[in-house]
Structure 1
């Protein structure tokens, strides 16, 4: 196979002497376009930084989708668990818990003072125990 046959694969063009100057110009223009596209494709393959950015963006998007899916699943399971606990807990216990919560809301200041005092006592005992 000679060089002419290799460059004209799949292009049944007439012999060079049979072509007009306009046809030759058109062929040169087509060849330039094809060469430009080939060079662009090779440059894109050689641009490793752009490929890495594209891959990182793709992985980031996948991770965000997965996180949203898992988050939704966890919320659903937590809601189901809360309903199950509420259904299984006896009514008198729920009433007592509601009363305790209401009492805590109305008496926040004394409760906060008691909690702070307990924390100070624990910290003092802990620091003395280390000495």
Structure 2
């Protein structure tokens, strides 16, 4: 015959001990996982690598779309290159004249 020592049902105490052991085991596993710095760093690096790859893919898609849109716009509205060249030449002359006045 098992004595209860005034603490209640022995089977209930055994079940309480089993439950406490299970919780303790889970706590130990959680602490071991937190203490495994190498595994945590690998996981963090993998997550960062995945985020960077995803953002790079999105950026590449955005750039391709922008280049395509700019090309389409240029084909629909051709700018006379002579006007662009004349503007660049005028700007160069103004810059050279300004430099000449300073020196």
State the TM-score, normalizing by the size of structure 2.
0.68
Partner of 1:33 in structure 2?
A: 22
Distance between the aligned counterparts of 2:72 and 2:21, measured in 1?
70
Unaligned runs of 5+ in 1: 1-14, 91-131
Distance between the aligned counterparts of 1:72 and 1:63, measured in 2?
14
Distance between the aligned counterparts of 1:74 and 1:18, measured in 2?
73
Aligned residues: 76
Greater relative contact order (Cα < 8 A, sep 6+) = 2
Runs of 4+ in structure 1 displaced over 2 angstroms? Answer: none
Partner of 1:68 in structure 2?
A: 57
Structure number, greater radius of gyration: 1
Unaligned runs of 5+ in 2: 80-103
Q: Find the partner of 1:22 among 11, 16, 39.
A: 11
Distance between the aligned counterparts of 2:67 and 2:52, measured in 1?
22
RMSD across aligned C-alpha pairs, in angstroms? 1.7
